[in-house]
Structure 1
Amino acid sequence: MEVAEILPEFADAFAFEEFNRMQREALPALLESSENVVASAPTASGKTALAELAICKSLADGGTALFIAPMRALTNEKEDDWDRFEALDYSVYVVTGERDLNPRRARRADILVMTPEKLDSATRKHDSRRYDFVTDIDVCVIDEVHLLDADRRGSVLEVTISRLRRLCDPRIVALSATMPNVDDVAAWLDAPEEATFEFGDEYRPVDLKSGVRTYTHGDNAFADKYRRLYRALDLAEPHLREDGQALVFVSSRQDTVQAAKKARDEIAERDVSMGVRGDYDFHTDLKEAIDNDTLRQSILDGVAFHHAGLSKEERDLVEEWFKQGHVELLFSTSTLAWGVNLPARCVVIRDTKYHDPLEGEVDMSPLDALQMLGRAGRPGYDDVGYGWVVCDSSEADKYRRLLRDGKEIESRLAESLETHLNAEIAMGTITDLEDVMDWLETTFYYVRGQSKPDEYDFPNLRGRVRDCLEGLVDRGFVETGADLSIEATPLGVLTSKYYLRLDTAARFDVLCDRAESGPITTADVLETVATAEEFDSVSARQDERDAISAVLVGEDTDDLDAGERKVLAILRGAASGSTPAELRSDAWAIRRNATRLVSALGAFLDRFVGPHAANLARRVEARIENGVAEDAVGLTAIDGVGPGRASKLAKEGLSTPGDVTDAGVEGLIDAGLSDGVAERVAEGAGSLPALEIDWGQFPETVATGENEVCEVTVRNVGEPARAGIRVTVNGVEMTSTNAYLRDEEAVPVGVFGADADELEFTVSVAFPEEPLVPITASRTVDVR
C-alpha cells in the first residue's frame, strides 16, 4: 500500500514510500473516522507514522494538531524531522520552557509540539491572551502514552490530557510501546474497540532475544562501572566480530565519553577488528567535521558516544555514521532510545541506576529499559536482535519479570492529588465536592481504580477526596463558602500559576509573613529556595562536602540537611560567579530550577508584601542567572549585558544603568567596549526607568510638637515602569505606595516635631520587575 496512493497530497511528508503491515491495519481508524485511537506496538515497528497519519487528517480538514513529546530533547528532533510538513506549507512550532513564546506564531501554527509539563502550564493559563492557542486544538497525539506511569511526570500528563479534553475536546491519538493493559488506556480516552490496537511482538520487524546478565557488586561504585562495562563488551563482542553493531546505554553524558575511551583500549586488547583508520577519504571528512578531539579519535577506531551535550551537527553525524556502519560500537544516554530510530544488532543496558541532580540516585524506569531494548535488531539486515540488561544479582529477578511480563501502566495521580486538585480549583473548573468527583472520573486514576479497586483504595475514594480538600483548606490554599462552595485563595492561585509544590508555596508564605514584619535579606531568599520541596531528594556525595562547607563557611546552616546545604552552596556560588568544580556536575539543573523558584517567590512577595521585597527576589534571581556582584546586578537589566560584560563595566566603575547612561557611548568605549556594542548598551540603558527625586520645599528644621505636610516628587525621566515608593523616618516606614511611573508621582510626607533631636527621612523607589538596585535619597531635619 503506497503512501502516494492513500495520501497523494501528503506523500512527501513521510520518510518512506509504502506503509508496513502494522500501519496498514491502523490506517482506516486513523483516516476514515474521527474516533479516538489507542495503539500499542513494539519499538521500531513504525508508530511514528501513525502519529503522522493522524496529523495529516487534521491538516486536510483545516485543523490544528498537537504532538506531545515525552521529553524536551525530542521536541527539537520533531521540529527537524517535520521540515517535510514545512515544505508542504504547513507550519510547525515548538513550545518549550527553554524558548521565548511567540503567541502569534503559536496561534497560526498547523502543528504544535510540546512536552507534558509545558502543556500543563499552558492549559492552566488558557484564558490568557498569551496561551489561548491551547483551546484551539483539533487532534492531540500523545507519543509514548506509557509515560503515565513515570514518577512525578506521569500525573502531569494524566491531568493535562483530562483538562485539554474539557477545554476543547480534541481527537486523541495515543501511542505506546507494548503495554499489557492497553484496554484501560482506551477506556480512559473513550477509544472504541475498533480503534484500539495491540500489536504484539509478531509485528516487530526483527525478532528480539532478550535477557539479564549479572555482575559481582563490589565496594567501589567507580570500579563497578568498569565491571559492568566489561560485561557489556563480553555481550557485544561476538556481534562486533561478525561486523554487527552494538548500542550500549549508560547513565550520564560523562559516562558515554569515559566508557567509549575505555572500550577503545579494551577492543584493541581483545584484537577485535574495527575502525576506519585505513579509509583516507573518511579520515579527511572526519577531521573537518568533528571538533571534539575525543570523539574524533574514538570514531577512527569504530567507537563513538552520543549525548545531548554534543552539538546538533555532531549528533547528526554520529547517527549517520552509525547507520552507514562506520561506527560499530556506540555509547549513549537514554535520550537516544526515545528519539531517532537507530537500531543495532545488540543493545546492552550497562547502567540500571543513574544520578539525578534533583533526585539523587534513582532506578531507571522499567519503561525506559523496555524502550532501550526495543532498539535491538536492524530491519533488513538482522534476523534477530539481542538485548541485555546488566545488573546486580539482587535485581536480576526484577528485570527478568519485566522482560517476561512487560509492565502494566499505573496512574501516579494519587501521589500528588492535592497539588493537581489545587490547580483545578484555582482555574475555577472545580467549585464543589461533586465537581471534584466529576473531575476524577475523567482521569486514568479513576479507570485503574475500577480495574484494581483494592490497590487503589477505590471504595474509600470519596473520603480520600474530602480529606484532601480539608487539607487544602487547613493550609490556606482553598476556602469554602456557607453553601459548601470551593474557591482558591490568592495563595492557591499563585501556587498553581507558578507550578509549585504545596510545601514550597507554604514556605514562601511563611517568608512573606516575616517580610511584612521586617526587612528580609538575600540570605533569607536563598535559604527559602534551597529548602523548597522541589529539592527534597538532592543528596550530597562525600566528595562534595568539603566544597560545600568552604562555600558556606561562617553561615549558620545547622538546621539544614546535607542536600539543602548543597543546594544553598550552589546558589551562593552561582550568585558570585564561582561555583566549585566539585559541585558543577549538578549545578546546571539546580540553578535552572532555582531561578524559576526565585521568580515565583518574587511574585509571592509582590502580592503579599510589596514591590521592595519583590525587587530583592528579582535581584537574587538575576545574580543566580548571571553570577554578578550585588552592587552590579542592575547592569543585567540592560539588553545585551550578560555576566561578562556586567563584570567588565563594574570593574571600570560603571555599576548601574545610570552610570552607563552618564558615561555615554564614549565612556563605554573608554571602558573597553567596541563602538557597536557601546552604542547598543547605551541604547539599552536608555530604555530603562531613570529617576529624579525632588524634595521641593522640604524644611531643614521643625519645632517640637509642630507638624508640616510636605510633598516629594519622584520623577521618571526614562521608560515607564511599575514601582513601589516607600518613605521611612529614622528607619521606620511612614508611607508606601505602588504606582505605574510614567512621568512623576507626588508623595505626601509628614514632618513632625518628635522627641528625637534629628529626623532622617528616606525615600526609596524599587522596581519589582527589574533587577535594579532601589534608588534612595535622604534628608535630615533637626528638631528644635
Structure 2
Amino acid sequence: MQLADLRRYGASHTIIQSLRDIGIKDIYPPQLEALRLGLLSTKDSFVIASPTASGKTLIAEMAILKTIFEEVGKVIYLVPLRALAGEKYADFSRKYKPLGIKVGVATGDYDSRDPYLAAYNVIISTNEKMDSLLRHSSPWIHDITLVVADEIHLITDAHRGPTLEVVLARLRQTNPNIRVVALSATIRNVHDIARWLNARVLESTWRPVPLKEGIYFDKSILFDDGSHKEVEVATIYDPINIALSVLDEGGQALIFVNTRKSTESVAAQAAKEVGKRISDGERKVLEQASEEVLKALAEPTRICRRLGELVKYGVAFHHAGIHSRQRKIVEDFFRENRIKLLVATTTLAMGLNLPSRRVIIRDWWRYQPGYGMGPIPVMEIKQMGGRAGRPGYDDHGEAVLIAKSRRDQAFLFEKYVGGEPEQVISKLGTESALRSHILACVATFLAKSEGEILDFISYTFFAIHKDPTDILSIVREVLRFLIEEGMIKEEGGNLKATPFGTRVAQLYIDPLSAVIIRDALFKAEERDRDLTPFSFFHAISATPDMMVLRLRKRDYEKLTPHIVARKDEFLLPLPGEEDQEFLAQVKTALVFLEWIEETPEDKIVGGYHIGPGDMRALVELGEWLLYSSYEIGRVFKLRRAVKYLSPVRKRLAYGVKEELLELVALQGIGRVRGRNLFNAGYRTIRDLKKADIEALTKVPTIGKEMAKDIKRQVT
C-alpha cells in the first residue's frame, strides 16, 4: 500500500510526510490492520500482540506522531530494561530530531523529579524509573496523553511485572483519558489485558520473514512443515554442528544455553571451526573488534581477555556478566554480520534484539531461584525462536530445539512447536510486591484509607482475575507492618505517611530494606569503636533489595575466618555461621570491601566468580543503598552514622581508598588513573594545577589528551 493511501484511515498529511521522512516505504499487514481498527481515527487504546519484527514499534510510532502533531501531548515510552531504553532513545533521536521532535531518556537515579524532562515530547523510560517519577509527583506527568508499554507480556514476571502493572494503573487513575498502546508477544489471554486497559485488540501471526520451527535429533532437523534438513557432523557438539551448517550457507547463528559458563565453553569449542570460515578481510575487522573489547575497561579481566580472543574467530558469548560496553561491541559486530556465531544465556533473550538466520535453543530447562530446575515457558522459547530470520537478508528463519531422544523430540514438538504460550497472570498479590506500592500510594496522597487502597488495586491487572478484596488480608498485614515500623500513621481517621515513610517511598527501596537499614544506623550511632565500612556493607547486603552473590562449595570454609575476625563490626544480629543467607551477605560485603581497598578488578571477579558486568551492577546497587542509608540517617538525625557514611559511599562509587577521593572526582579519572597520579606525586587538585602537561603525560595510563583534559578541569 502507498503511504498516500493512509489518508482514508485518518492519517494526516503531516503524519504521512513524517513517515516518509523517517524512511518508511511499506506498510506491513499488522500496521494496516491497526489503522483499520482506528489507530489514527480514534483515541482508543490498543493492545498489539504479534511476533518479533512484525512492525509493532511502527504502530506505536504512528500513534506517537498523532499525539505530538495533532494533540500537542506528551508521550511516555515504557521499556523493561535500561539497555533497551538506550537503544530506543538512539533510534528515536536519529529519526525524529530532524522533525523537531524532542526525545529524552529517563533511567537510573530514583531520587529525582527530573524537571528537565518537561522539555521533551517523547520520554523513553524504564518501568522502574517511571514508578519513581510518579512517587516524586513530577508536575509534567499531568501532560502525558499517550503511554506506550513495550513488552507488556512481562507483567507476568514476578520481579518486573508488579511495577509495570502499578505504573499503568497509576497513570490511568490520575488521568482517565490517557491513551495506552501496549505491545506484546503472542500470548494466550491478550483479551484479558485489553479488558484491563479498555483497549482494542490486534492479534497477528504475520512475520516479514517466514519462520520454520524444528527439532534436531540424530544429525537431522525435522521442521514443522514436514521437511527435513541433514546436518553435517564437523565436531562432537550438536549445537555447533547445527550452527556451522547455516554458516556454510552464508547465514549467522545464535545459540541459547542456560548458564554463563556454557556460553563461554560453547563459544570456545566453536571458535576453531568458525574461524576457518572467516575471510582475510573479515579477520582484520574482527581483530579491531577484539581490540575494542579489551580497551572497553580500564582494567581488563579474564572474561574480557577470553571474549577478545574469541571475537578474532568470529565467535562471541553474551551474558549479564559482561560489561555493557563490551555487550554493545559484540551486538554491533553481530548486526554487521562480522561476528558469525553468538552464544547467549536464555535469561538474556528479552533484551537481545539480534536477528540471525538460525536460532538454536540447546537448553529448554533452566534454574529458577527458589524453585530449582524447570522447563522454560513456551512464551520465552517462542520469543527466542522469533529472532530467526533477518529482514532484507533471509528468505526464511529457522528456530531449532535440540532433542536427546525420539521421546524428547515428540515432547518438544508438542510442547514448544505446537504448543500455545502460557496465560499472562498478575504477580501483584503478594506481601513483598505490595509493601512498596501501598506505601507509595499513601505517601503520594493517592490513598488515605484501606478502602481507597483497594480502589487503587481495582485499576490493576490483578483485578481482572480476582476481586481486590481477595487480598484484603495481605493489604491489612502490609498496613500493620508499615504502621508498626513508623512509615504510616493514622491521623483523624486517615492514613498518612510519616517523614520516614515519605522518604522511603521516594528512595524507591523496599520498606523492609528501610527497616533493616534504620536499625543498623541506630546501632552505628551508639558505637564508639568497631565501626568500619564492612559494618555498612553487611547491613545493605542483608536487605531484600541487594543482589547477593550465590555461594559456592568452597565459600563456607573461606568465609568463616572473616566472620570470626569481624564479629564485632556487624550492626545486625548474627545468626548461626551455617546460615546460607547470612554467608551470602558476608560474601557480598567482602566484594565491596575489596573494591574500596583497590584490589584489582580482575582479581575480584576471578576470586568471587563474577563478571565485570556483575561487578558494575553490584557497585551501582550498593552505592544506591548507601545513599539511601545516608538519607534515612538524615531523617532520624543520626549525625555520627551520616558523617561516617558520606566518604564510604563515595569510595564505593569509585572503588578507591579515601586518599584518592579528591582525584577521582575529576572526569575521566577512575581508580587506575587516580592511583597512578597519586603514586607519581600528584595527590591533590593543587598538585595538578602546578603540573605541566609534559610531566602528566609520563604518568602511566595518562596520555597527552588526558593530560590536557586534566589541566582544563583544574584551571
Query: TM-score, normalised to structure 1's length?
Result: 0.72
Q: 1:410 aligns with which of 399, 414, 425?
A: 425
**Does 2:481 align with 1:465?**
no
Q: Is 1:188 paired with 2:212?
A: no
Aligned pair partner of 2:59 in 50, 75, 78:
50
Correspondence for 2:383 among 337, 354, 371: 371
Q: CA deviation at 1:331?
A: 2.5
Deviation at 1:467, TM superposition (A): 3.1
Aligned residue in 2 for 1:32: 41
CA contact (8 A) 1:576 1:628 kept: yes
Instruction: State the alpha-carbon separation in 2 of the partners of residues 48 and 431 from structure 1.
Output: 39
Contact 1:360 1:537 in 2 (8 A): no
Q: Secondary structure at the match of 2:448?
A: coil
> Which residue number in structure 1 is paired with residue 565 of structure 2?
554
Which residue of 317, 330, 340 corresponds with 2:333? 317
Tell me what 1:421 maps to. Answer: 438
- Amino acid corresponding to residue 31 of structure 2 in structure 1: Q
Equivalences, count: 640
Per the alignment, in what secondary structure is the counterpart of residue 112 of structure 1?
A: strand
* 1:86-106 Cα shifts (integer Å, max 9, x gaps): 122212211111799894652
AA paired with 1:428? F
- RCO higher in 1 or 2 (8 Å CA, sep ≥ 6)? 2
- 1:139 aligns to what SS in structure 2? strand
Displacement, 1:37? 0.8
Deviation at 1:505, TM superposition (A): 0.9
Q: 1:306 to 1:465 in 2, by over 3 A?
A: closer
- Cα deviation per residue 1:327-362 (whole Å; 9 max; x = unaligned)? 543334568854675433421223457789999999
In the other structure, the counterpart of 2:231 is none
- For residues 115 and 260 of structure 2, what CA distance do their matches in structure 1 show? 36
Q: Which residue type is aligned with residue 171 of structure 1?
A: R
- AA in 1 matched with 2:28: N
Residue 261 of structure 1 and its aligned partner are, at CA, apart by 2.6
SS of the aligned residue for 1:535 comes to coil
The residue number in structure 2 matching 1:524 is 535
Cα distance, 1:421 vs. partner? 0.7
Residues 146 and 367 of structure 1 are in contact (CA less than 8 Å); yes or no, is this contact kept in structure 2? no
From 598, 611, 625, the equivalent of 1:577 is 598
CA separation of 1:133/1:386 partners in 2, compared to 1, >3 Å: closer, same or farther? Answer: same
- Structure 1 residues 374-426: Cα deviation after superposition (integer angstroms, max 9, x where no partner): 11245577666432345899999699545502111111111311221111111
On the 8 A contact 1:357/1:538 being kept in 2, the answer is no
Aligned amino acid, residue 460 of structure 2: T
Structure 2 distance, partners of 1:154, 1:406, is 17
Q: What is the one-letter code of the residue matched to 2:480?
A: E
Distance 1:276 1:395, change over 3 A: closer
Q: Is 2:118 the partner of 1:107?
A: yes
The question of 1:233 aligning with 2:230 is answered no
Deviation, structure 1 residue 67 = 1.2
**Separation (CA, whole Å) in 2 of partners of 1:390 and 1:615:** 58
1:87 alignment partner, SS class: helix
Matched residues in 2 for 1:564 and 1:313: separation? 33
How far apart in 1 are the matches of 2:592 and 2:311?
38
Q: Any unmatched runs of 5+ in structure 1? A: 215-227, 269-273, 451-457, 684-784
Cα 1:81–1:148 shift into 2, 3 Å: same
- For residues 589-618 of structure 1, what are the alpha-carbon distances to aligned partners after superposition, in whole Å with 9 as ceiling and x for unaligned? 222211110000000111103444212112
Aligned to 2:9: none
CA separation in 2, counterparts of 1:356 and 1:48? 31
1:30 maps to a residue whose letter is L
Match of 1:276 in 2: 278
**What does the per-residue CA deviation read over 1:194-229, in whole Å, with 9 as the maximum and x for residues that have no partner?**
x21122x35574144245879xxxxxxxxxxxxx99
Task: Select the structure of larger CA radius of gyration.
Answer: 1
Q: CA deviation at 1:187?
A: 1.4
CA distance in 1 between partners of 2:247 and 2:690 (Å):
65
The residue that corresponds to 2:228 in the other structure is none
Equivalent of 2:136 in 88, 111, 125? 125
Q: 1:504 aligns with which of 508, 513, 519?
A: 513
- TM-score w.r.t. length of structure 2: 0.78
Q: Structure 1 residues 634 and 197 mapped into 2: Cα distance closer, same or farther (>3 Å)?
A: same
Alignment CA distance shift 1:310-1:463 (3 Å): closer
Aligned with 1:206 (options 199, 207, 210)? 210
Q: Which residue of 2 aligns with 1:225?
A: none
Q: Quick one: structure 1 residues 459 and 481, their matched pair in 2 at CA, closer, same or farther if it must change by over 3 Å?
A: closer
Which stretch shows the higher mean deviation, 49-58 or 365-374?
365-374
**Corresponding residue number in structure 2 for 1:136:** 143
CA distance in 1, matches of 2:668, 2:371: 35
**Counterpart in 2 of 1:481?**
491
Alignment identity in percent? 27
**Deviation of 1:514 (Å):** 2.4
CA-CA distance at 1:543 after TM superposition: 5.0
More strand by share: 1
Q: Distance in 2 between matches of 1:361 and 1:132?
A: 46
Separation in 1, partners of 2:561, 2:198: 58
The CA distance in 2 between the partners of 1:74 and 1:234, in whole Å, is: 32
Match of 2:632 in 1: 604
- For residues 169-184 of structure 1, the aligned pairs below 5 Å read 169=176, 170-184=178-192
> What value does the CA root-mean-square deviation take over the aligned residues?
4.0
Answer yes or no: is the 8 Å Cα contact 2:289–2:311 preserved in 1.
no
- Number of the residue aligned with 2:221: none
Matches of 1:409 and 1:76, distance apart in 2: 27
Partner SS, residue 434 of structure 1: helix
Partner in structure 1 of residue 229 of structure 2: none
1:749 equivalent in structure 2: none
After superposition, what is the alpha-carbon deviation per residue over 1:490-517, rounded to whole angstroms, capped at 9, x for unaligned?
2222221111112211111212332454
1:695-719 deviations in whole A, cap 9, x for unaligned? xxxxxxxxxxxxxxxxxxxxxxxxx
- Tell me which moved more, 147-156 or 350-359: 350-359
- Cα distance change on mapping 1:8 and 1:609 into 2, 3 Å: same
Instruction: For structure 2, list consecutive stretches of 5 or more residues without a partner in the other structure.
Output: 7-14, 219-234, 295-305
